[in-house]
Amino acid sequence: MLLFRSEEDIDRWCSATGEPRGEAVPLRQVWQLAQAWYGNRMHPDFRGRSALEAGAVFASVGLTSEFWRVS
Partner 1 sequence: MATILRERDWQVRLYIYQFLVAHTHPPTTAEAAQHFGLPEADARAAYQRLHDAHALFLQPGTTNVRMANPISAVETAYPVTVSGRTLFANCAWDSLGIPAMLGADARIDTLYTGTDIPARYAIEAGELRGDDGLVHFPLPFRHWYDNLIHT
Q: Which backbone phi and psi does 46 adopt, to 5 degrees?
A: -65, 130
Q: How far, rounded to the nearest angstrom, does the alpha carbon of residue 43 sit from its chain's CA centroid?
A: 21
In 10 A of CB 57, how many CB atoms? 18
| Residue 27 Cβ vs partner 1, minimum distance, rounded to whole Å | 5
| Stretch 8-47 residues interacting with partner 1 (CB under 8 A) | 9-10, 12-14, 16, 19-28, 30-31, 33-35, 37-39, 41-42, 44, 46-47
Interaction between residue 5 and partner 1 (CB under 8 A): yes
| Residue 35 Cβ vs partner 1, minimum distance, rounded to whole Å | 4
Interaction between residue 3 and partner 1 (CB under 8 A): yes
